[in-house]
Structure 1
Amino acid sequence: MNKTLLDIVIINWNSADLLQNCVASIRTSSIALPGELIVVDNGKKEQKVDDLANQYSFTLLRPEKNLGFGRGCNQGAALGKADFILFLNPDILLFPDTLQNLTTFLSSDNLPADVGIMGVQLIGRDGNIQKNVARFPQCKHLYPRMLALDRLFPKAFPPHYVKTIDYGKTQIVDQVPGAFFLIRRIVFSELHGFDERFFMYYEDVDLSYRAFQQDWKTIYLSEISVMHAGGGATDRIQGKRLFYLLRSRAMYVRKHFGLCNAILVILATLCLEFLARIIRALFHLSPKEIWITISAHALFFINIPAIVRNK
């Protein structure tokens, strides 16, 4: 087997326990990883992460500050040279045969030459398949989602994640989740990696869309599966997480659909979505949810000039 077939890059942020389980599942696979295992530690400097690097023999990159997901991925990818790069969240666990099945597919003639990005079947802790293959965002779909109309009336307002496809079938899709994001290095290099302006969220959507624009396809592989355990550290910073989601969404619209559409999305975010989230928080009798909404939208408001300038 090609010894430089596959590099794995994991972005860790204050998730040492999840990271341990993730790298352990890689190192205890039925075959050895044919490439580098690289961890970019964006969080606080935990001694446990150093211990894990020694125990599981991975390359540890420790930036002086949190680089964000996209920039961290770019720096991690630069440390490897394999033909394929797998960006993996630390809450992913490989099954014993995952790596074997994956490398067999990558080495076979079954991989179409025009496929640049791949995802696999994600299994939740409950044993069910997670339906998280997604459509490329379009402006006309964003507004009803701001009001949660896609959840209330999914037939009338298509949700971001596609629930209607057969998740037991391998097929070409718009995009696969960033939790398990496999890409040809040649495609990654051709597109200059992730856009580092996206600190968190939408960087994978943006890269997938740019690949699509260059006629590269994305495939969902139903025959290969991993466990998506969930419970990442970002669950503890819900206000900032919502802010990054709002900002990245507006940045994506500004980048791909122009200034006018970006201004409309910004106004809808500050008015329609803010009001909808406040009403929902009041309905839930949740002061915490109210504070998360107010703080996230306040940060979003401060960042509007940079979004408009496409910076």
Structure 2
Amino acid sequence: MLNIAVVILNWNGKALLKQFLPSVIDYSKDATIYVADNASTDNSVAFVKDQFPNVKIIENKINGGYAKGYNDALQFVDEDIFCLLNSDIEVTPNWLDPILDTFNTETETAIIQPKILDYKDKTKFEYAGAAGGFIDKYGYPFCRGRIFDTIETDTNQYPNSNIFWASGACFFIRKQVFNQLNGFDESFFAHQEEIDLCWRAFNLNYKAKYVSESTVFHVGGATLNATNPQKTYLNFRNSLFNVTKNASGYLFSLIFTRLVLDGIAGIQFLFQLKIKHFFAILKAHFSFYFNLKKLLKQRKNLPQQKGYFSVKSIVYSYFIKKKTNFSKL
């Protein structure tokens, strides 16, 4: 029987831990619970030690973001299955049982995501993951239950199935696979590093799966909300990192198309008078060019496979053909 560690990465999130850690403790009786602290300055560690003495603490020396934070912390976790859980998630009774059942019975499954619903409206999917993620040919991510900013109501319309990527908000992975992949790419810092990890796993023939019987509720945007230009910067930059490292096919035609599409997005931000977001896209591309040599070297040493995308262009399908529901793609 596999054992599981629930690892919550924290950075100055004392209020979130106070609100959401009790549900994790109450409904995760068979798991070992860790708080991995990214050099917080808000007394988070002392609070957890005082209020939740059975929770194990891992203290990272610096705030290296999501990617480095988990890479550093998971070196000290021995359980067979890692659950990487955001601090702004409310879990539900028996949420771990169907996950562990799947890992125990489906040995080819390396990564799992539960159903992620919106904490603020529990009838709807949540942006970061929904019912499992996919990408198009050009590396733009979307989910069953969420395409761009269109969010579906959950009617149990999405059954268990293989997916391309699982959300980092609640991300289960076998320790052996995480270590084989050398963890997250720390150059991502935050946002879409889980897509890169899943893509590298996919290119090694591992499977990621959505398990609908497990449900969690996610607040979302607790660290960076959607109006923050830094989030725009990281999402656009890291998406380009993903394509360059992992996509099959003729790379430079993919990159050129992305430059055009990202340019259109930037012009749209200008028309909306979101000037900081326009400059965030420019900054993302300059950072991409600066890192291109390193990314091409990584690509050379990573396997690529055909058939990684389920839709050729989600931008065209959504904005031109008006297919805003996943089931209509």
SS across alignment from 1:245: helix
> Secondary structure in 1 aligned to 2:5?
strand
Distance 1:263 1:213 in 2: 20
Which residue of 2 is the match for residue 116 of structure 1? 110
Residue 201 of structure 1: aligned partner: 191
| RMSD, matched Cα | 3.1
Distance 1:310 1:261, change over 3 A: farther
Return the offset for 1:136: 3.0
How far 1:128 moved relative to its partner? 1.6
Q: Note the residue ranges of structure 2 that are not aligned, 5 or more in a row.
A: 296-329
Q: Give the aligned partner of residue 13 of structure 1.
A: 11
| Corresponding position of 1:309 | 293
Q: Distance in 2 between matches of 1:187 and 1:300?
A: 30
Residue 299 (1) aligns with residue 283 (2): yes
What letter is aligned with 1:38?
Y
Q: Partner of 1:116: helix, strand, or coil?
A: strand
Which residue identity is paired with 1:71?
Answer: K
Deviations, residues 47-89 of structure 1 (Å, cap 9, x unaligned): 1442123322333333343212111111221111111000111
- Go from structure 1 to structure 2 and tell me whether the alpha carbon gap of 1:62 and 1:128 turns closer, same or farther (over 3 Å shift): same
| C-alpha spacing 1:276/1:43, structure 2 compared with 1 (3 Å) | farther
Is the alpha carbon distance of 1:80 and 1:14 closer, same or farther for their aligned partners in structure 2, counting shifts above 3 Å? same
Contact residue 135 and residue 160 of structure 1 kept, 8 A: no
Q: Contact between 2:161 and 2:209, CA under 8 Å: does it hold in 1?
A: yes
Distance (Å, rounded) in 1 between the aligned partners of 2:196 and 2:220: 23
Superposed displacement of residue 114, structure 1: 0.6
Matched, 1:232 2:222: yes
For 1:90, the equivalent position in structure 2 comes to 87
State yes or no: 1:192 paired with 2:182: yes
Cα 1:234–1:269 change in 2 (3 A) is: same
Verify the 8 A CA contact 2:267 2:278 in the aligned structure 1. Answer: no
Deviation at 1:96, TM superposition (A): 2.9
Q: Secondary structure at the match of 2:134?
A: coil
Judged with a 3 Å threshold, the aligned counterparts in structure 2 of structure 1 residues 192 and 304 are, in CA distance, closer, same or farther, namely: closer
The alignment status of 1:275 with 2:261, answered yes or no, reads no
Alignment check: 8 A CA contact 1:259 1:308 kept: no
CA drift of 1:34 comes to 3.0
1:53 to 23, 32, 49: 49
Q: Give me the TM-score of the superposition, normalised by structure 1.
A: 0.79
1:219 equivalent in alignment to 2:209: yes
| AA in 2 matched with 1:304 | F
Q: Is the 8 A contact 1:118 1:183 kept in 2?
A: yes
Contact 1:263–1:308 (Cα < 8 Å) also in 2: no
Q: Output the amino acid matched with 1:63.
A: N
CA contact (8 A) 2:108 2:206 kept: yes
Structure 1 regions of 5+ residues with no counterpart?
151-157, 283-288
- Quick one: structure 1 residues 272 and 167, their matched pair in 2 at CA, closer, same or farther if it must change by over 3 Å? same
Q: What residue in structure 2 maps to residue 170 of structure 1?
A: 160
Instruction: Kindly state the Cα deviation for residue 160 of structure 1 after the two structures are TM-superposed.
Output: 10
1:99–1:166 distance in 2 versus 1, CA, 3 Å: closer
Question: In proportion to residue count, which structure has more strand?
Answer: 2
Secondary structure of 2:60's counterpart equals coil
Contact 1:26–1:33 (8 Å) recurs in 2: no
Q: Which of residues 48, 62, 67 in structure 2 aligns to 1:65?
A: 62
Percentage of pairs with the same residue: 22
Cα distance in 2, alignment partners of residues 34 and 214 from structure 1: 28
Q: How much does 1:120 deviate?
A: 0.8
What do the CA deviations read for 1:267-293 (whole angstroms, capped 9, x no partner)?
A: 3366322112211x23xxxxxx32343
2:237–2:284 contact (8 Å) kept in structure 1:
yes
**Contact persistence 1:132–1:177 (CA under 8 A):** no
Q: Which residue does 1:22 correspond to in 2?
A: 20
What TM-score do the two structures reach when normalised by structure 2?
0.75
User: Would you say how many aligned residue pairs link Structure 1 and Structure 2?
Assistant: 282
